[in-house]
């Protein structure tokens, strides 16, 4: 017998018992109605809890996938930042007269030319933004996971603000000191020392190249001051990247533990 039909039958019997003043039968029928309502509500709660846990599992799986993808991208970004920083560091002793004068390598010169470049860091986890915008963040039950996510949100928001401040005033050294850092083209077939990093701007018969006057750089204190400012900003970007990588590793490991438990 369908559940709704059985419920209606009980109610009809209850009404009949009340009309006949059969209080014992009415009490039994009333008890059956109360128990039925309770079981119905309990079943609804159980089903709602089951759906919530299924949704939580789906959230954790997506978080794990997106965290892994972002971690891979942040590591690749960090490798580029580290290479850039290494080129700046290798040029420092000579430029600041701690070592004898020498010519700068093409990579060192390119690092100086692009020392003002600070791209917006990779930091987005789309599912996390969805959880915050839809109010589903509290679907997550694990307190350690929620704490890691809150810490990442705070770090991400702070670094986004820092990026805006960092890029508010940039020192494009090739524009401020055109006699010290020069940009030009090198004919194909005579491209020894060409950087090959401006391929989208190059043509079939030439490549873009850069040259640095190391002697003049060493003698220009304004240039060295601006270069130092750019190098300091680059160092902060690299530190933030390492911090972001560490936080994503911790988050990825916690998500893996939850999925395997």
- pLDDT exceeds 70 at position 68: yes
pLDDT at residue number 171: 85
pLDDT tier, 29 (very low <50, low <70, confident <90, very high otherwise): low
pLDDT tier, 241 (very low <50, low <70, confident <90, very high otherwise): very high
Taking the model in full, what pTM does it have?
0.75
pLDDT at residue number 88: 95
pLDDT at residue number 193: 47
For residues 166 and 251, which has the higher predicted lDDT (pLDDT)?
251
* Spatial contact of 116 and 230, defined as CB atoms under 8 Å apart: yes
122-132 per-position pLDDT tens digit = 999 999 999 99
């Amino acid at each position: 017998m369908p559940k709704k039909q059985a419920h209606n039958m009980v109610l009809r019997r209850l009404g009949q018992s009340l009309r006949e003043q059969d209080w014992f039968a009415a009490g039994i029928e009333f008890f059956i109605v109360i128990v039925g309502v309770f079981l119905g509500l309990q079943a609804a709660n159980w089903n709602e809890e089951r759906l919530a846990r299924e949704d939580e599992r789906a959230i954790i799986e997506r978080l794990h996938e997106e965290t892994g993808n972002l971690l891979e991208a942040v590591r690749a970004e960090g490798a580029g930042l580290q290479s850039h920083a290494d080129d700046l560091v290798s040029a420092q002793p000579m430029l600041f007269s701690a070592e004898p004068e020498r010519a700068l390598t093409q990579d060192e010169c390119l690092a100086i030319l692009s020392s003002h470049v600070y791209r917006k860091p990779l930091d987005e986890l789309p599912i996390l933004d969805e959880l915050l915008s839809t109010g589903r963040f509290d679907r997550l039950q694990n307190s350690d996971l929620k704490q890691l996510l809150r810490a990442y949100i705070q770090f991400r928001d702070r670094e986004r603000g820092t990026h805006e401040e960092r890029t508010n005033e940039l020192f494009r050294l090739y524009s401020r000191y055109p006699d010290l850092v020069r940009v030009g083209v090198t004919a194909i077939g005579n491209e020894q020392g060409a950087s090959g990093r401006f391929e989208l701007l190059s043509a079939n018969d030439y490549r873009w190249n850069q040259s640095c006057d190391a002697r003049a750089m060493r003698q220009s204190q304004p240039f060295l001051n601006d270069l130092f400012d750019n190098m300091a900003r680059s160092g902060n970007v690299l530190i933030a990247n390492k911090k972001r990588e560490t936080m994503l590793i911790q988050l990825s490991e916690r998500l893996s533990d939850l999925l395997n438990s």
